[in-house]
Structure 1
Amino acid sequence: MSNSPVPTTTKSALRLSQLLRHAVVDSQGKQLGKLADVIVRLRGDDYPLVTALVVKVGSETIYVPIADVAALEPNRVELTTARLNVRAFQRRPGEVLLNADVLGHRLIDVHMASLVRAHDIYLSSDTATWAVTGLNVHQTHWWSTRKTISTDPARDWKSFEALIGHEPSVLVRAPFGKLRRLKAAQIADLIETADAKEQSELLTQVHNDPEFEADVFEELDEDSLTHLLKSRSTADVASVLTRMRADDAADAITDLPQARRREVLALLPEPQHTKVLALLGYHTATAGGLMGVEYLALAEHATIQDALDLIRTSTTQQPEALTTIYSTADDGTLRGAISIIRALQTDPHRPLREVADPDPVHAAPQDDIIDVTTRMADFNLLTLPVLDESGHILGIITVDDALEAALPQDWQRREPQTHASLTPGAV
């Protein structure tokens, strides 16, 4: 059970802007200094707990534990003592400085899968503790006639993931933190719009799950992917590409310098090395360059049930590649195709040669993108097989890859739209 304090309303919560640079007084009301920052400790999915204050006393910066604080009030902080321990402040793993790390900085709105800026921070208390429970991400401009932003809605802290840029604190978080609610494509969009420091923290968190990291890299646009791979060691690049789809890995390797390309290829395990090397022989703007080498093909005497059983066990293959079942002759040449929907609606004991559409629409590896997309649109295809001169399947093109290739570059690079999360319980 969570021990999180209950978020309060904007009216009853204390805003950080009401505390910063205001007086810190002793138990007799004498001013000792001014508040410079508030220190909180990350607690996974719980609200960060206030553990200490940073007080500016003359030219010194003093650490004051929360146990020495009698009251936090708008424009005033009262201590329980008149004496301050002048020990130097040193941040520990898991600690966040609200003013230095969060206020005015960008963080991830997990609900909307976008980067936003924290314009104020809300602190709430129960009988014993103070915790961060809310954020205001609505900017008040200098020309606004409002004298306070307290009327702006306070968003729940749990709807955000702070990018604090402090590596020891990042590493003590639960893997992914709140980012686990996001899809790979959403995190890729965040990385593409983040600055170098924000990218570094996002990549550090994503790196905790190598399989998901590969999914994120597959979703990055070409420029971002090239930039990130160039900044990594050869071993790191090979590790990521090993987990990527062979066609995406081949596209990524193409943009590396020739010498480094050979080094990365040498580190790829079989059969990934063989698949990638074969795909590198095709121009990226052709059917051969667009195709993936994962597909579902069975001998034409196999039954529908055999195909469905194979789909159930093909958990590592790209789902889009499993939407069509291909049948082959004894010599391996393509004979027929049937969609998974038609297969599910057919007697499972019937052999593929009786139910698959004969002579499926296909492409040659040298066909260009226009030929591929036109053919897929004309015949309403989710996948298009690419055949060699003998009629053997070299690979297939999925509709998502065809669509991405057909989109103009300026359309692909437009500002991504934000979409609210459908995660149950999201604020």
Structure 2
Amino acid sequence: MDRLVYLAQLLRRPVVGGDGEVVGKLVDVIVRLRGHDYPLVTGLVVRVGGREVFLPAEQVTDLDRDKITLASPRVDLRRFERREGEVLLRADVLGHRVIDVADVELVRAYDIELEQRLDQWVLTCLDTRRPPRLRRLLGGRTARPDWRDWKCFEPLIGHARSARARGPFARLGRLRPADLADLLEDANRTESHEILQTVHADPELEADVFEELEPDSQTRLLGERSDAEIAQVLARMRADDAADALNDLPQSRRQPVLDALPSGQRTKVLTLMGFNPSSAGGLMALDVLAMAGTSTVAEALRAAGAARALQPQALTSVYLIGEERRLLGVAPLVELLQADPAARLEEVADRDPVRAGPDTDVEDVALLMTDYNLLTVPVVDDEERLLGVITVDDVLDAVIPEDWRRREPAPHPAHHPGEPALESSPHDMPPGP
């Protein structure tokens, strides 16, 4: 029958040799992460005299809340040195915060459950419910622990070489950029560095995450990087977001970062920085799908399907342009899907579309979008030349009050063991010791 023990009970318990003599006291339990499988206990850290030594799991015959029993009284007294890939449960997990992937929040691990399966011990569950003060003072368990499957969490190990052994994404790959940004804003310095280390494995995702960060968090996290590293992130961001991020950097760092940008992105950023950040020109996306009015509907749809470099929010319409990029009309993609493929764009497009100038206040753009039920508004200069397009998400980012951004987000649906979104739990709630 499988057995359960709890780390909080094991710590500082005597370690007894095969002859019954006390060898030392337990300091920590070492596990090895195994991807989607439960972490395997590979050894113990035991204090013997004045030093901490390593005991391999094969030498342990029993883990019990009262004592840990060894197969032999012989112990290698060489001082313990942590190896790559080793996770220390007391030092790295117990009392530390982990990422609750299902609820997208940082929670603290107050206890750790170990389960014996055949002749091995594995880490199966975490208790993430804060113990009441009375429970701590009395040393009892007066409140029911919140035991949840280890597979619901992503640990923040802190030890760089051990964190690398976990793999490039692990469970964080399930989260959206906005979710990762929320975690970064709640994380402390050490936690945020580890989350960013993981995200850095995918440069496109990293750029998306920085786009979602609040300006103060974005500036703080970018400010800890070199000019070249900042430029690498900004090069993959939308040009309007990159311009905002650059403007928020200290004056002394803007030009070096700008010089390190690829020429194409640098040109876009410089263009946007020439406008008021709260105007249509400062918020617009420069890349749009623009075609001649004589193009057919079928050609426009093929061009839209191939326009993978454009942000999806800006790809709601095809813009008809004439000489010197003068705006002649707008054809929403939905209408093109319903039109005759052989028809010309100028036959199906709105030839007098709603538009805004680059100096138009964002609040006025919001009113235009509301009055005409628009997702995008083209931005044109005094000569009616198409400069870019402002999207509804850019407008919302600009007009939502700051105190609304800071309020508590809506709660996530309650987690339930066995939900298909996560691997099923080995059991619903293990009994308390």
TM-score, normalising length: structure 2 = 0.92
- Structure 1 CA distance, aligned partners of 2:88 and 2:35? 16
Structure 2 letter corresponding to 1:134: C
TM-aligned CA deviation for residue 55 of structure 1: 1.2
Is it true that 1:69 corresponds to 2:52 in the alignment? no
Q: Deviations over 1:236-287 (max 9, x none)?
A: 0111111111111101111123332111111111211111110010111111
Q: CA deviation at 1:29?
A: 2.7
> Which residue matches 1:307?
300
Q: 1:114 touches 1:418 (CA, 8 Å); kept in 2? A: no
1:5 aligned residue: none
Are residues 1:179 and 2:177 paired?
A: no
Aligned-partner Cα distance in 2 for 1:337–1:247: 22
After superposition, residues 274-313 of structure 1 pair within 5 angstroms as 274-313=267-306
**Shift of residue 31, structure 1, vs aligned partner:** 2.1
Q: Say if 2:131 is the partner of 1:140.
A: yes
Alignment partners' CA distance in 2, 1:139 and 1:260: 43
2: CA distance, partners of 1:425 / 1:47: 14
Cα 1:27–1:151 change in 2 (3 A) is farther
Task: Check the 8 A contact 1:111/1:426 in 2, yes or no.
Answer: no
Residue in 2 that maps onto 1:266: 259
Task: Show the 5 A alignment for 1:406-417.
Answer: 406-417=399-410
Given the superposition, is the C-alpha separation of residues 326 and 218 from structure 1 closer, same or farther in structure 2, using an over 3 Å criterion? same
* 1:400 counterpart letter in structure 2: D
In the alignment, the residues of structure 1 paired with residue 65 and residue 140 of structure 2 have an alpha-carbon distance, to the nearest angstrom, of 15
Cα deviation code 1:177-218 (max 9, x no counterpart): 110011111101100110000011011111111111111111
What's the offset of the Cα at 1:146? 9.7
Report the equivalent of 1:97. 88
Partner of residue 192, structure 1: 185
Aligned length: 418
Q: 1:380 aligns with which of 373, 376, 380?
A: 373
Q: For the residues of structure 2 that align with 1:153 and 1:204, how far apart are their CA atoms?
A: 29
| Inter-partner Cα distance in structure 1 for 2:302 and 2:275 | 33
CA distance in 2, matches of 1:150, 1:409: 38
Alignment of 1:29-48 (within 5 A): 29-48=20-39
SS at match of 1:143: helix
Q: How far apart, in 1, do the equivalents of 2:249 and 2:129 lie?
A: 42
Shift in alpha-carbon separation, 1:354–1:423, aligned structure 2, 3 A: farther
Q: Does the residue aligned with 1:264 lie in a helix, a strand or coil?
A: helix
Distance 2:71 2:382 in 1: 86
C-alpha separation between the residues in 2 aligned to 1:304 and 1:93?
58
Structure 1 residue 96, shift from structure 2 partner: 0.7
Shift, 1:15, TM fit: 1.3
Secondary structure of 1:265's match? helix
How far does residue 338 in structure 1 lie from its aligned partner after superposition? 2.2
Aligned to 2:230: 237
1:335·1:358 contact (CA, 8 Å) conserved in 2? yes
Cross-structure match for 2:117: 126
CA gap of 1:426–1:366, structure 2 versus 1, over 3 A, is farther
Q: Any unmatched runs of 5+ in structure 1? A: 1-7
Alignment partner, residue 54 of structure 1 = 45
Deviations 1:395-416 (A, max 9, x none): 1111011011001111112234
Q: Tell me the distance in 2 between the aligned counterparts of 1:85 and 1:416.
A: 52
Q: Distance in 2 between matches of 1:93 and 1:329?
A: 62
Residue type matched to 1:283 in 2? N
Alpha-carbon contact 1:41-1:49 (below 8 Å) kept: yes
- For 1:180, give the aligned amino acid: G
Between the aligned partners of 2:87 and 2:142, the Cα distance in structure 1 is 24
8 A Cα contact 1:181 1:423, kept in partner:
no
Q: Distance in 2 between matches of 1:391 and 1:118?
A: 59
Bigger mean CA offset, 95-104 vs 300-309:
300-309
Summarize the Cα distance change of 1:41–1:382 in structure 2 as closer, same or farther, 3 Å threshold. same
Matched, 1:249 2:238: no
Q: Distance in 1 between matches of 2:331 and 2:305?
A: 17
SS of 1:282's equivalent in the other structure is coil
**For residue 162 of structure 1, what is the aligned residue in structure 2?**
155
1:66 counterpart letter in structure 2: A
Q: Which amino acid aligns with 2:94?
A: L
How far the C-alpha of 1:70 sits from its partner, in A, is: 0.8
AA in 1 matched with 2:406: R
Aligned to 1:25: 16
Distance 1:257 1:404 in 2: 23
Structure 1 residues 237 and 104, CA gap change in structure 2 (3 angstroms): same
State the TM-score, normalized to the length of structure 1: 0.93
Structure 1 match to 2:71:
80
Residues 128 and 177 (structure 1), Cα distance of their counterparts in 2 relative to 1, 3 Å cut: same
Say what the alpha-carbon RMSD is for the aligned residues.
2.0
Distance 1:291 1:423, change over 3 A: farther
Cα 1:185–1:426 shift into 2, 3 Å: farther
Note the alpha carbon deviations across 1:113-133, whole angstroms, 9 max, x for none: 110000111111222211111
Displacement after TM superposition at 1:418 (Å): 5.0
Q: CA offset at residue 426 of structure 1?
A: 5.0
Matched residues in 1 for 2:4 and 2:142: separation?
13
Closer, same or farther in 2 for the Cα pair 1:423/1:300, shift >3 Å? farther
Return the letter of the residue paired with 1:72. L
Any conservation in 1 of the 2:16–2:24 contact (CA below 8 Å)? yes
C-alpha distance in structure 2 between counterparts of 1:188 and 1:381, whole Å: 28
Give the structure 1 partner of residue 344 of structure 2. 351
| Letter matched to residue 394 of structure 2 | D
Can you list the C-alpha shifts for 1:6-43, whole angstroms capped at 9, x where unaligned?
A: xx7xxx52211221121211223322222111011122
Paired with 1:44 and 1:426, the residues of 2 have a C-alpha distance of: 12
Q: Which residue of 1 aligns with 2:388?
A: 395
Instruction: Give the Cα separation in 2 of the matches to 1:73 and 1:424.
Output: 34
Matched letter for residue 120 of structure 1: D
| Structure 2 letter corresponding to 1:166 | H
- Tell me the CA shift for residue 351 of structure 1: 1.1
